Structure 1
Amino acid sequence: MGDPGGAAAGSGGAVQRSAADGRARRATVQPGGGTDLDAQRSVWQLGADPADPPDEFVAPDQTASGSPAAAVPMISRSRTRHRPRVLDEVAGQVRFERGSVAEFGSPQRAAVLVHWARTPVLSRSVTTLAGELARAGYRLVLVSACESPQPLNWRGTCPPDATVLRKPNAGYDFGSWAVALNELPAITQAERVILTNDSMAGPFAPLAGVLAQFEHCSADVFGLTDTRQYFRHLQSYFVGFTDGLLGEAPLAAFFADIRLEDTKWDVINRYELGLNRLFRREGYGYTAGFRADDVVPAGDNPVIRGWWRLLERGFPFVKREILRDPDVAPRADWVSREVAAVFGQRIEEWV
């Protein structure tokens, strides 16, 4: 998938999984195993469900947001070779606005939150998400591609041990995660790592319950939501990795090889879906906190086409895309009312 030499240089040393270790790990994530929390939701491996379509499946009438459109074709990763790696493109242009490699140390829990905005004032959604992660014991790393060169304005809410990286606006979210793993390789060795972004409004409620699911799950990878769109996979806006998984060779190579892409759809095809194909190929088990099957028909995007059902189940976020472009989601005109009814919050204050 990627250049192994580049991966090793960018990940602080990849750890190769042995066949025996892989078998042992897979044995812990079969349905019916795991903790009491896991018993409430199935823990499954990619490819383990016979109802899943093959890798090449593309929902014929869905875009990535869940609205009807022509199929989005799968794109071979071989076609990315003429595009530069994000790490090469931004080399020498990444700086620490707050913290340093030495100050970061070797935390057991880390969360990488990636951010983009035109102005340096952080939204309530970003500062609240950062605060929730920090209060739960995660060493926060904010990677910002803000267009303003001015220091970010946390409005007095910056976690005291947060690290802030500033980078050019290149590579979308996966490129920013790759930069964090490259600049702070200790992240890859942490027991629990969350990679998340600012694509959601919220959290409108404390994340203690969600983070407890991640802490107690026996799977290799935890996602806040899954979907059967294209094929069954975790959605990439909030993904947690366990037991130093990001330091293993397959994932280290994957993130080191993130490249500049022309469109958001290229990123989804090559990296969100590509990451999940890697899980399938390597036998990594994964689980989701909120299952798409509970809120939408197979093939629909739960955070777009089932957003109100997720809220009713305690999901404390709304996709910002719905607020920007109400036409992408059903009942979009209900968002303000539903957020107020379920969480007692004015969504206008969160964006």
Structure 2
Amino acid sequence: MKPTIARLRNPLLRTDRSISPSPRGLEGTRAAFFASYGESDRFSRSVIELTRALSGRGYDVVLIRAASGGARAQWPANEEAIRPTIMWRPNVGYDFGSWAVGIDQFPKLAGREHVLLVNDSLVGPFGDIDRMIDHFEHSTADVWAATCSEQVELHLQSFTLGFRRGVLRAYPLNRFWGSIREIGDKNLLIREYEIGLSRLIDREMLTAESFIPVGLVGRGQINPAYDSWDVLLRNGFPFVKRELLREDQPAALRERIVAEVRERWEQDPMQWFEPA
């Protein structure tokens, strides 16, 4: 018997989802798929402020919220003017799973001229993101990222990715996103999907560029988002990785980051994310 389409469909893309449309609709020329995870019934300040910043630059935001305990975060009523389209889904497949489900649900958005994939592993933005977005929108590359790393091998880091000229919806990237599976080991997921995406880009001779080049943040086996967070702040990336502010990090490191953010933007980053 010939397999049915349902049997062939990627199991991750068959997971339950619930959608609340944005009151503003999806009528723009730019789109952002925003992967978020949390068990709280509220969205963090980082999620709200990044949505505000992206909306201000003309991006229709689809916020894909994953939770394992059934919590359903609600958008604050006093921020209704910037409420994105929100999708709630089980916590399956990490951020790559959320992006894959969002792209599957809204394929037309994935085909727009400028499309961003972002997540809430970042705390911020503490300042405007115009310099970074301008760099993306003026890039001539097919695929763009805020940062890249030589850790393991040269690759684009996935917490902020950009795709131009509809390439996200076209082969081979549409096949890549349609093939995302649940991987329980985060390190394996990074190798398969984050590094795997850069390998695919190179193999298919697509062009790639990063906002902050690897030579600026340090070459070799380092992760710029962790090891060069201060360089990123100084060069127009107004975010820090959330993990750097967790209680299991050295207190001296957290204090340095808090002091740097307060000096630059008069913000306390410890108030910008949900508790673990």
Same fold (TM over 0.5): yes
- Within 1, Cα distance between the matches of 2:250 and 2:198? 25
**Alignment of 1:170 onto 2:92:** yes
Match of 2:230 among 304, 308, 316: 308
Of stretches 147-156 and 322-331 in structure 1, the one that deviates more from structure 2 is 322-331
Deviations 1:71-93 (A, max 9, x none): xxxxxxxxxxxxx74113x0xx1
Q: Give the structure 1 partner of residue 12 of structure 2.
A: 86
1:235 to 140, 148, 157: 157
1:96 aligns with 2:7: no
Deviation per CA, 1:24-69: give whole Å up to 9, x if none: xxxxxxxxxxxxxxxxxxxxxxxxxxxxxxxxxxxxxxxxxxxxxx
- How many angstroms apart in 2 are the aligned matches of 1:319 and 1:328? 14
Structure having the larger proportion of residues in strand: 2
**Structure 2 unaligned blocks of 5 or more:** none
2:78 is the alignment partner of 1:156: yes
CA-based RMSD of the aligned residues comes to 2.4
Q: Which residue of 2 aligns with 1:319?
A: 241
**Tell me, what secondary structure is at the counterpart of 1:288?**
strand
Deviation at 1:99, TM superposition (A): 4.4
1:261 is displaced (CA, Å) by: 0.6
The offset of 1:124, in angstroms, is: 0.7
Q: State the AA in 2 paired with 1:136.
A: R
**What amino acid is the match of 2:200?**
L
Q: Is the 8 A contact 1:219 1:287 kept in 2?
A: yes
What is the deviation of 1:329? 11
- Cα distance change, pair 328–143 in 1 and its aligned pair in 2 (3 A): farther
Residues 185-243 of structure 1, C-alpha deviation per residue, up to 9 Å, x if partnerless?
A: 11221000000100000000011111111111111111011111111111000000000
- Preserved contact between residue 120 and residue 151 of structure 1 (Cα < 8 Å): yes
User: C-alpha displacement at 1:299, in angstroms?
Assistant: 1.8
1:253 corresponds to: 175
Determine what percentage of the aligned residue pairs are the same residue: 33
Q: Contact conserved, 1:86 with 1:258, CA < 8 A, in 2? A: yes
The 1:111/1:337 distance shift into structure 2, 3 A limit, reads: same
* Corresponding position of 2:44: 123
**CA displacement, residues 287-314 of structure 1 (integer Å, 9 cap, x when unaligned):** 1111232122322101101111222223
Q: For the residues of structure 2 that align with 1:285 and 1:296, how far apart are their CA atoms?
A: 22
Aligned equivalent of 1:133: 54
Q: Which deviates the most, 150-159 or 325-334? A: 325-334
Larger radius of gyration: 1
Deviation at 1:330, TM superposition (A): 8.5
Q: Secondary structure at the match of 1:247?
A: coil
Tell me what 2:30 maps to: 109
CA gap of 1:219–1:329, structure 2 versus 1, over 3 A, is: farther
1:268 alignment partner, one of 165, 173, 190: 190
CA contact (8 A) 1:85 1:258 kept: no
In the TM superposition, what are the counterparts of 1:178-257 in structure 2 within 5 Å?
A: 178-257=100-179
Q: Is the 8 A contact 1:109 1:139 kept in 2?
A: yes
The two structures have a TM-score, normalised by structure 2, of: 0.89
Q: Is the 8 A contact 1:189 1:244 kept in 2?
A: yes
Number of corresponding residues = 267
Q: Which runs of 5+ in 1 are unaligned?
A: 11-83
Q: Which amino acid aligns with 1:185?
A: P
The 1:296/1:169 distance shift into structure 2, 3 A limit, reads: same
Q: Counterpart of 2:184 in 1: which secondary structure?
A: coil
Matching residue's letter, 2:148: D
Structure 1 stretch 112-121 or stretch 291-300: which is displaced more? Answer: 291-300
Offset at 1:182? 0.7
With CA pairs under 8 Å and 6+ residues apart, which has the higher RCO, 1 or 2?
1
